[in-house]
Chain A
């Protein structure tokens, strides 16, 4: 009903009609996308506005810049969502189908490992957290207090986290193939985290707990989710809801374990 054209046209409109008709649908589509994004961002705007005006009682600094910035955020989120539906979701599903029909377990598992490793190794949040951790370690006296020792510590830590995410995606894919229930893996992981917290040096615990969160980048999550759901849909006897999700959960658990293990070994 949104796309129905008005019943009558004047002469001028008759000439322009094909163009208007061609533009109407994408325009309405874009407007609805923008409205949805605006709804998603409304809470942030309200919270920041409320605290700025009512609690801190200060005017907004640089109101023009903030408005332009908000327009960028709304437009960017709309484009991103459209890109998910056109690009990332179909890509993940196609990959899942191709791997399933090729039937090579080795190819699938090596892809899973590389996807986890590759998505994490260059992650800016991880680079930041590794540097932070190397400072903590050198202040705590775990490594010599010079720049070289710190940078090699940070590099090794990054490799450890990226490797652990690779292993997590690999286990996650294997779990979908075998139909293992996720909660045993997660609860086992929790017990391991708890146990290692006791033995790990106190400075590394906070970093380790936070490193679980850095592995979930905005591009990897849709891709991995579509891959998991695609695999669970393609493989007979698997339920996409029960078996398709869960890779991300594993990918945020293994870094905690591996970072603490790294802290214990060093």
Chain B
């Protein structure tokens, strides 16, 4: 942080405001011209909006100054051939040499997802709307596990160089099968959590991992093979959330058979 903390804060705040400006204009237009209704507690809402902007700016600064550089360097170091000990036998890639990369992918995918503000928002809303039947923390852990599995499998795909669509389409098939076995109340939430995970915190670190990995493996192009990790990270959470709901309803059923069956049937 050499160029002065407040300069960085101001620049990031301005950037955040610029990103949000179209939405604010749109909201103001509809509120004033179309709906013409007074907002309840307008001061509180404006203060809240200010909190969101300043909070997000601070959050981004902290990530960019502290976490992203380390995460990206780490991804580069872990995927470097010297680290993996794969120099020498050129042209031959053994996927077992990259176990450390899969482990790092899973761990960082899990950790960044738990900190994802958009997911926190959706999980808060889900707990509120379901009257506590869906636990915010449980949902977030389930999503994070999904991202962990997705990212490490995505790294495996980059190492082996197998086509991306096979994995994604196979994952879709599993999701469709699970959908027909799942309770109706969890399905929209599960689908949503797939889209939410790939946001502010997860994308930069995971993308750096993918690009670093594709660049260090002979025969892989970062341009073609570096993409796709994000897609993995958005399909697998759907599976784990559906599985989480299945497991938690099974546990509830075992504890009190009558209530659980009644609650599940509608």
Q: Does B265 contact A (CB under 8 A)?
A: no
Q: How far is the CA of A47 from the CA of B104 in the complex (A)?
A: 8
Q: Is B164 touching A206 in the complex (CB atoms < 8 A)? A: yes
Chain B at the A interface: mostly helix, strand, loop or mixed?
Answer: helix
Contacts of A194 in B (CB 8 A): 165, 169, 172
- A91 and B45 in contact (CB under 8 A), knowing A55-B100, A124-B19? yes
Q: Is B118 touching A218 in the complex (CB atoms < 8 A)? A: yes
Q: Is A90 touching B45 in the complex (CB atoms < 8 A)? A: yes
Q: Does A155 contact B (CB under 8 A)?
A: no
The range of chain A's interface size is 35 or more
Partner of A119, one of B22, B126, B169: B22
Q: Is B23 touching A79 in the complex (CB atoms < 8 A)? A: no
Q: Does B4 contact A (CB under 8 A)?
A: no
Q: Is B111 touching A46 in the complex (CB atoms < 8 A)? A: yes
Q: Is A249 touching B195 in the complex (CB atoms < 8 A)? A: yes
Contacts of A205 in B (CB 8 A): 164-165
Q: Does B259 contact A (CB under 8 A)?
A: no
Partner of A88, one of B25, B48, B60: B48
| Tally of contacts, chain A with chain B, CB under 8 A | 335
Q: Does A147 contact B (CB under 8 A)?
A: no
Residue of A at shortest CB range from B16? Answer: A219
Contacts of A48 in B (CB 8 A): 67, 70-71, 74, 108, 111
Q: Identify which of residues 153-197 in chain A touch chain B, using a CB-to-CB cut-off of 8 Å.
A: 181-183, 186-187, 190, 193-194, 197
Per-residue A-contact encoding for B33-60, CB less than 8 Å = 1, 0 else? 0110101110011111111111111111
Q: Does A76 contact B (CB under 8 A)?
A: yes
Contacts of B240 in A (CB 8 A): none
Q: Is B78 touching A56 in the complex (CB atoms < 8 A)? A: yes
A222 CB to nearest chain B CB (Å): 4
Contacts of A98 in B (CB 8 A): 35, 37
A148 CB to nearest chain B CB (Å): 21
- A245 and B47 in contact (CB under 8 A), knowing A94-B40, A210-B228? no
Q: Does A142 contact B (CB under 8 A)?
A: no
Q: How far is the CA of A243 from the CA of B226 in the complex (A)?
A: 36
Q: Is B188 touching A213 in the complex (CB atoms < 8 A)? A: no
Q: How far is the CA of A99 from the CA of B27 in the complex (A)?
A: 12
Partner of B55, one of A69, A79, A119: A79
Q: Is A111 touching B179 in the complex (CB atoms < 8 A)? A: no
Partner of A44, one of B25, B111, B230: B111
Contacts of B184 in A (CB 8 A): 181, 242
Q: Does B129 contact A (CB under 8 A)?
A: yes
Contacts of B231 in A (CB 8 A): 206, 209-210, 212-213
Q: Is A222 touching B121 in the complex (CB atoms < 8 A)? A: yes
B67 CB to nearest chain A CB (Å): 6
A178 CB to nearest chain B CB (Å): 14
Q: Is B63 touching A187 in the complex (CB atoms < 8 A)? A: no
Contacts of A229 in B (CB 8 A): 125, 129
Q: How far is the CA of A214 from the CA of B23 in the complex (A)?
A: 16
Q: Does A31 contact B (CB under 8 A)?
A: no
Contacts of A215 in B (CB 8 A): 195
A159 CB to nearest chain B CB (Å): 14
Residue of B at shortest CB range from A125? Answer: B203
Q: Is B227 touching A73 in the complex (CB atoms < 8 A)? A: no
Going nearest first, the 8 A-B pairs with the smallest beta carbon separation are A87-B48, A69-B66, A86-B48, A79-B55, A76-B58, A83-B51, A72-B62, A213-B198
Residue numbers of A with Cβ under 8 A of B are 40-41, 43-44, 46-48, 50-52, 55-56, 60-61, 65-91, 94-95, 98-99, 102, 107, 111, 114-115, 118-119, 121-125, 132, 135-136, 139, 181-183, 186-187, 190, 193-194, 197, 202-203, 205-207, 209-210, 212-223, 225-226, 229, 239-249, 251-252
Would you list 20 pairs from A and B whose C-beta atoms are within 8 A, ordered by A residue?
A46-B111, A48-B70, A48-B74, A51-B107, A60-B70, A70-B66, A75-B62, A76-B54, A80-B56, A81-B55, A98-B37, A206-B227, A210-B228, A213-B230, A216-B118, A218-B199, A225-B121, A225-B125, A244-B188, A252-B195
Beyond A47-B111, A52-B70, A73-B67: 7 further Cβ-contacts under 8 Å? A48-B108, A69-B66, A79-B54, A183-B191, A209-B230, A217-B200, A252-B198
